[in-house]
């Protein structure tokens, strides 16, 4: 067990560093060939971690901007940042900021092909342990093989969600003399292949892992969560213009398969209030997390997004008024209809998630009230980096961090899939297939029940079919 934990810690370090290293790069004494890479356990682990390092991360992925700044939900304070091209209409097929992802993910698929060609003969444990317990190496081989199917599905999904149907390359690596001008597969063919790989992964992966052993690795829950997301995309109007109800039912069943797994659920209770839901983002692999990528503990996210009145705070991500107004009043009504809403005190009597996720005038960061009014410490027009909307980000962040001293680092994880998303996937699919309050085809939970599970944990009124 100690050896497993040691190797897992080594993999975690390599995983976090993986995107920065190429384990087939040449060195001064010559290129490391495949035989060497897969016969030496640190290289083999590093090669696999490098593939994981190709997965997307959402913290400041485009020129220090979060992807939400490409939408109506947030503004980015730097008017020269690449992400602004989405907002000012200047992006096209030449200036598309994600253009490198097309070649990147095909490169990732090639790495997987190389890995799967070598995995059955690869060494993933040190020589002494291998001599004592060769069966442990076999355990790693089988585990990593299943994770590879998940990764292959993930990379194809990243391509498909951006470009529609794409060319599906042979599972064996292509060589320079092979036919490289491959035809584009249809969207449905790509979805079928992605689902197949999710199912192959789910067959062999454990439902859930212990934090200290396999953190950062895919599980059965990860694979089935990806399947749920893919099938929801496939059922959506863009990809299902005829509104084929069977596609919605298939998406609902895929979500139910995740919800039925043991060991997962929503975090509820006092910790939601006491942490403002921050424990979901900071506690590695809590019961709500289905798959996440860990980060080294640091305060980079806080430096980039704390209000500008705090020393070293850059305030880059500014939620919009549109997003703020989407949060209901505490009685479950929209602010345009609720008698609870008071424009002179707009943040009182609101869905508590408004204050959990968005920093507004009077919000507390590091024991100080935020001042977003003109002339305030964090206010509009204070400097070129101050908020453009009157708001700052709180979601994902440790708002108690002391950036001036920076003596205590914060654990972060980028969550790819969590339980709440699957509840919403299920709710959307059930609503489209059967309506908000109906069931069918062995699916006993209604769309309303699924949505209300999420609302109840923050003490919001339940929705009714009327």
- Predicted confidence at residue 8, as pLDDT, reads 59
- Predicted confidence at residue 98, as pLDDT, reads 67
Summarize the confidence of residues 445-449 as an average pLDDT: 98
Q: Is 88 or 115 the better-scoring residue by pLDDT?
A: 115
- The structural domains of the chain, with segments of one domain joined by +, span 1-62+102-164
Summarize the confidence of residues 203-217 as an average pLDDT: 86
Distance from C-alpha of 316 to C-alpha of 385, rounded to nearest angstrom:
7
Report the candidate in 147, 167, 183, 63 with the shortest Cα–Cα distance to residue 105.
167
- Predicted confidence at residue 314, as pLDDT, reads 95
Angle CA 28–30–32, to nearest 5: 120
Summarize the confidence of residues 108-113 as an average pLDDT: 97
- Using DSSP's 3-state secondary structure scheme, residue 177 falls into coil
pLDDT class for 407, splitting at 50, 70, 90?
confident
Chain-wide mean pLDDT for the chain?
91
Summarize the confidence of residues 88-106 as an average pLDDT: 79
Q: Is 216 or 427 the better-scoring residue by pLDDT?
A: 427
DSSP letters, 109-174, are HHHHHHHHHHGGG---S-HHHHHH-HHHHHHHHHHHHHHHHHHHHHHHHHHHHHHSS-----SSPP
Give the whole-number percent of the chain exceeding pLDDT 70. 91
What is the pTM (predicted TM-score) of this model? 0.93
- Tokens linked to 362: 């009077």
Tell me: the pLDDT tens digits for 141-155?
999 999 999 999 999
- Predicted confidence at residue 91, as pLDDT, reads 78
**Sequence-separated (6 or more) residues with CB below 8 Å from residue 276:** 355, 356, 394, 399
Helix intervals (H) in 260-310: 270-275, 278-282, 300-305
pLDDT class for 269, splitting at 50, 70, 90?
confident
């Amino acid at each position: 067990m100690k050896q497993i934990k040691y190797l897992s810690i080594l993999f975690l370090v390599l995983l976090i560093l993986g995107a920065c290293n190429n384990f087939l790069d040449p060195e001064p004494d010559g290129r490391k060939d495949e035989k060497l890479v897969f016969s030496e356990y640190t290289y083999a682990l590093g090669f696999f971690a490098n593939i994981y390092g190709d997965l997307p991360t959402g913290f400041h992925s485009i020129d220090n901007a979060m992807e939400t700044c490409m939408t109506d939900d947030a503004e980015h304070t730097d008017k020269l940042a690449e992400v602004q091209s989405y907002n000012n209409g200047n992006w096209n097929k030449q200036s598309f900021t994600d253009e490198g992802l097309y070649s990147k993910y095909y490169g990732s698929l090639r790495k997987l092909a190389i890995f799967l060609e070598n995995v059955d003969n690869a060494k993933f444990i040190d020589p002494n342990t291998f001599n004592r317990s060769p069966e442990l190496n076999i355990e790693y081989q089988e585990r990593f093989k299943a994770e590879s199917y998940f990764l292959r599905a993930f990379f194809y999904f990243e391509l498909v969600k951006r470009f529609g149907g794409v060319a599906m390359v042979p599972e064996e690596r292509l060589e320079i003399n092979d036919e490289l001008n491959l035809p584009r597969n249809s969207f449905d063919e790509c979805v079928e292949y992605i689902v197949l790989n999710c199912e192959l992964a789910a067959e062999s992966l454990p439902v859930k892992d212990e934090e200290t052993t396999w953190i950062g690795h895919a599980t059965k829950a990860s694979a089935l969560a990806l399947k749920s997301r893919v099938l929801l995309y496939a059922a959506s109007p863009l990809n299902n213009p005829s509104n084929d109800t069977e596609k919605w039912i298939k998406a609902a069943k895929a979500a139910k398969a995740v919800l039925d797994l043991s060991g997962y659920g929503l975090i509820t209770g006092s910790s939601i209030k006491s942490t403002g839901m921050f424990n979901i983002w900071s506690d590695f692999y809590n019961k709500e997390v289905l798959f996440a990528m860990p980060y080294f503990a640091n305060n980079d996210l806080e430096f980039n997004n704390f209000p500008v009145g705090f020393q070293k705070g850059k305030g880059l991500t500014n939620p919009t008024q549109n997003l703020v107004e989407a949060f209901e009043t505490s009685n479950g009504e929209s602010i345009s209809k609720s008698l609870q809403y008071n424009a002179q005190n707009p943040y009182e009597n609101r869905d508590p998630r408004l204050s959990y996720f968005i920093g507004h005038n009077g919000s507390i960061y590091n024991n100080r009230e935020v001042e977003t009014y003109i002339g305030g410490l964090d206010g509009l027009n204070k400097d070129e980096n101050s908020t453009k909307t009157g708001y700052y980000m709180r979601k994902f962040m440790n708002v108690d961090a002391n950036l001036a001293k920076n003596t205590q680092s914060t654990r972060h994880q980028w969550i790819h899939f969590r339980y709440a998303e699957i509840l919403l996937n299920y709710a959307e699919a059930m609503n489209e297939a059967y309506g908000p309050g109906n069931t069918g085809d062995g699916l006993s939970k209604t769309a309303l029940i699924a949505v209300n599970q999420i609302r109840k944990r923050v003490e919001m009124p339940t929705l009714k079919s009327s």
